[in-house]
Amino acid sequence: MKQLLFIIVLNFCPVLFAQNNTIAVGEKLSFTASYNMSGLMTEIAQVNMETGQVKTSNATLLHLKCTAATYSKWDGFFKIRDLYESYVSPTSLTPYLYKRDINEGSYYKFMQYTFSHKTNSVKSLMRKKNGKGEIFDKTATLKINSGTKDIVSTIYHIRNLDIHKAKIGDVKSFKVIFDNEEMVINVKYISKETIATAIGKKECYKLALSLNNKDILKGGSNDNLLYLTADANKVPVYAKFKIPVGNGELKIKSATGLKN
């Protein structure tokens, strides 16, 4: 469960890159997160994704924020309060600052990345608790590949992709830095499919996800899927995933502030 929001947002990854012509300031998406408990898919948490605007001394940035919180009735069993956020260029969605604040049961972890795209490097700050419950910091400077992004900015790139140009079976690979490591994410375009959602019946792009040399995702090509609307907004409306400790799914509840 320590990777809950990472697993969720991993189901929102890119196929082809394009400039931002889809993401608006003030957009809010809400989802229910369910987990298979004793053979039953049970709603345990709410996930929110929203965008805002932040002005610095020399730039205006788009603030991308993802949160996950268990419903109160599950807090006694396993309480989750997770926050992921990225500050990016409003035109290219290139990340400049990333923060991750994880509170799951007794587990706590904070990560911060400051990107330097000119030098292809990231300044990393990791804050954790030791065995005594004392908080300590660890800093590092990491080399990254050109184009490597954090997991949150990767989420929103999917909304600007020319997926309508992809052919069935096309596979693309992308690099994301997470826990101070670069991961290779493979995204395969499967087909179009129409599904019923809380925001209406939607024709969707159906994508399959996998990771190179990582065991976070389990199962075959139909166990880790993402559906996003086949329209100008490309709203993620449904995802399912299989991990070492079980399987779950994500369903859209509401979508407001859409650009198109």
Residue 37 β-bridge partners: 40
Question: 215-232: per-residue pLDDT in tens?
Answer: 677 766 678 899 999 999
Lowest average pLDDT, out of 114-118, 199-203, 244-248, 253-257, goes to: 244-248
Q: Which domains does the chain have, with CATH numbers?
A: 4-256 (2.40.360)
Contact (CB, 8 A) for 66 and 41: no
Identify the CA nearest to 51 among candidates 251, 198, 250, 258.
258
Q: How many CB atoms lie within 10 A of CB 156?
A: 24
Average pLDDT taken over every residue of the chain: 88
Distance (Å, whole) CA 260 – CA 192: 20
Residue type, 70: T
- Is residue 258 over pLDDT 50? yes
Give the pLDDT score at 213. Answer: 66
Contact (CB, 8 A) for 183 and 214: yes
Alpha helices in 37-191 (DSSP H): 72-75, 151-157
Residue 88 β-bridge partners: 62, 95
Give the pLDDT score at 154. Answer: 83
Q: Which residues of 92-112 are buried (b: 16+ CB within 10 A; e: fewer)?
A: ebebbbbbbbbebeeeebbbb
Q: Give the predicted TM-score (pTM) of the model.
A: 0.87
Positive or negative: CA dihedral 46, 10, 111, 148: negative
Give the pLDDT score at 196. Answer: 98
Positive or negative: CA dihedral 207, 145, 155, 110: positive
Lowest average pLDDT, out of 12-16, 123-127, 218-222, 243-247, goes to: 12-16
Distance (Å, whole) CA 93 – CA 89: 5
Lowest average pLDDT, out of 16-20, 41-45, 85-89, 253-257, goes to: 16-20
Question: 6-55: per-residue pLDDT in tens?
Answer: 444 444 443 334 578 889 999 999 999 999 888 899 999 999 999 999 99
Question: 145-201: per-residue pLDDT in tens?
Answer: 998 999 999 888 877 878 889 999 998 888 899 999 999 888 889 999 999 999 999
Contact (CB, 8 A) for 24 and 259: yes
Both tokens of residue 242? 């299989």
For range 118-124, the mean pLDDT:
96
| C-alpha pair distances (Å), 3 with each of 32, 107, 110, 181 | 16, 11, 13, 15
Both tokens of residue 78? 């396993």
Identify the CA nearest to 29 among candidates 72, 65, 73, 77.
65
245's enclosing H/E stretch is: none
